[in-house]
Amino acid sequence: MTTTVIIGGSFAGMTAALEIKRKGKDQHKVILIDKSPLFLFIPSLIWVPFGRRDIKDISFKKEGILTKKGIDFVNEEATKIDATAQIVYTDKGEYHYDNLVIATGPKVKYDIAPGVEEFSHYVGTPNGAMKIRTALQEFKKNPGPIVIGATQNAGCMGAAYEFLFNIEKWLREENIRKKVDLYWITPEDYLGHFGIDGMPMGESMLKGFMKMFNIHYRTEVGVKEVQKNKVILTNDEELPSDFTMLMPPFIGVDLVTNSPDLHATPAGYIPVGDDYRHRDYKNIWAAGIAVDVKLPFTPKSVPFGSPKTGYPSDETGKIVAENIIRVAKGQAQLIKKEWGRIPGLCIMDAGKKEVIIFSTSLFKPRTFAIMIPNIIFDFNKVILEKYFLWKSKNGYAFLP
């Protein structure tokens, strides 16, 4: 019997756990450690501030399905890894492993600039999304300028664009749009770069949206400081703001930075090959955001990163599971798929409108890439949410 410990039970980790158990059956013991008891469909957090979703609508307790599938769920925080002794330490106990999968996602680097944590909002956590809901109720009593965007080094610009178009729609629904100067700020070289060097028609489509919705924008800017009523950009321009939402950069979680054995990159990501196996340890694997991905482009003047989205996170969870099974069977040939060659599949919500983004690979060169706008309703995004929650609740990780 091989024991695999997986740290992190979200898009990447839950997929890996379910797939190892499905394929390995009684030959594989799987222990999933996660500090959160909930599986959360993070992409729908952008709807929480506007009351379109509550956290309970987009999350469920994961222990039930994991136990049903024969996986041991440990609701603890992993604090350190000893790669030589093959032990994961948690705040309550320790777990020995034959294989270890690191699927811990990101830590948000709020200290990227002074005032970001104190004076701007972040939509990417349940708490952050709920705080925005409360703040917007106050804001609408006395509307003023708004700044939405991403800071220097950020990689998850797509979610910030989604929030921008959702808040614009909310302002119109609240009949206060005319009282609000809405600004978009981004480190990207051009609108719609998205950290993947753009998509055909992407820049012109986003320019069209900005014009149609009367949104002022600044590209190639970082944030020098956020204050209570303004955002100071790296080019020293000051934008007045009574409500600010920013996407800071992601870095590796404390567990990784506190475990020097892991030889993580300076940003806290795990160095793996195209088989998602650690470059220095044959029995350590990584999936999802925890993976170190080399930037496929050079930013012009302000640094920014690449997004690590849900589809490749799920996909790398599957690859890791298959490779662990193969190694246990003594097979030498492993599945290899470079992160940037995984197909790109994403739906960007544009405030009850949407843009479907598909490409044969995440990074260039791509054989085929397309952005399809749907201005009638964001039903594909809604269907994706329902499908993913259904698939996860039932443990059907083998599905796409």
Pick the piece of the chain touching ligand FAD (CB under 6 A) from 20-28, 30-38, 134-142, 295-303: 30-38
Least spacing, CB of residue 39 vs ligand FAD, in Å: 8
- Rule CB under 6 A: choose which of 5, 17, 31, 33 binds ligand FAD: 33
* 346 near ligand FAD, rule: CB under 6 A: yes
Contact of 317 with 288, CB cutoff 8 Å: yes
Strands 99-102, 284-286: pairing kind:
parallel
Q: Which residue has the tokens 């992160």?
A: 339
Local structure of 355: helix, strand or coil: strand
Give the per-residue SS3 of 245-268. Answer: EEECCEEECHHHHCCHHHCCCCCC
> Is 352 one of the binding residues for ligand FAD (CB under 6 A)?
no
- Whether omega for the bond prior to residue 307 falls within 30 degrees of 0, making it cis, is no
HSE, side-chain direction, 13 A CA sphere, residue 78:
30
Q: Residue 28: which of 333, 335, 399, 328 has the closest Cα?
A: 328
Decide: is 8 part of the binding site for ligand FAD (CB under 6 A): yes
Least separation in angstroms between CB 329 and ligand FAD: 26
The span from the CA of 331 to the CA of 323, in Å, is 9
Tokens of 177: 């749009």
Candidates 308, 318, 352, 366; binder of ligand FAD (CB under 6 A) is 308
Asked if 177 contacts 168 with a C-beta cutoff of 8 angstroms, the reply is: yes
Q: What are phi and psi of 14, to 5 degrees?
A: -70, -40
Residue in 58, 103, 206, 221 binding ligand FAD, rule: CB under 6 A = 103
Tokens of 113: 């600039």
Q: Say whether residue 210 binds ligand FAD (CB under 6 A).
A: no
Q: Does 78 bind ligand FAD (CB under 6 A)?
A: yes
Give whole-number Cα distances, 308 to 81, 154, 155, 221, 287, in Å.
24, 11, 8, 22, 11
Q: Residue 241 Cβ, how far from ligand FAD at the closest point, in Å?
A: 20
DSSP letters along 2-22, please?
Answer: EEEEEE--SHHHHHHHHHHHH
Binding mask 36-65 for ligand FAD (x = CB under 6 A): x-----xx-xx-------------------
User: Of 6, 263, 231, 277, which Cα lies nearest the Cα of 121?
Assistant: 231
Size of the site for ligand FAD (CB under 6 A): 35
Contacts for 54-61: CB closer than 8 Å, 24+ residues apart: 55/126, 55/129, 55/130, 58/385, 58/389, 59/126, 60/389, 60/392, 60/393, 61/37
Sites for ligand FAD among residues 112-171 (CB under 6 A):
123-124, 156, 159
- From 1-9, 49-57, 233-241, 327-335, span contacting ligand FAD (CB under 6 A): 1-9
Closer residue to ligand FAD (CB): 195 or 222: 195
Residues 273-302 that bind ligand FAD (CB under 6 A): 288-289
Q: Among residues 205 and 346, whose Cβ is nearest to ligand FAD?
A: 346
Q: Assess 31 for contact with ligand FAD (CB under 6 A).
A: no
Q: Which of 4, 5, 9, 302 binds ligand FAD (CB under 6 A)?
A: 9
CB 162 within 8 A of CB 193: no
Give least dist CB 6 to ligand FAD, A. 10
Check binding of 355 to ligand FAD (CB under 6 A): no
Nearer to ligand FAD, 306 or 313 (CB): 313
CB 397 to ligand FAD: min, Å: 12
Catalytic residues: 156, 346
Question: Which listed residue (6, 13, 47, 155) binds ligand FAD by CB under 6 A?
Answer: 13
The tokens for 61 are: 């307790």
Q: Shortest approach of ligand FAD to residue 350 CB, angstroms? A: 12
The pattern of x and - marking residues 228 through 267 that bind ligand FAD according to CB under 6 A reads -------------------------x-x------------
Please give the residue ranges that form the binding site for ligand FAD (CB under 6 A).
7-13, 33-36, 42-43, 45-46, 77-78, 103-106, 123-124, 156, 159, 253, 255, 288-289, 308-311, 313, 346
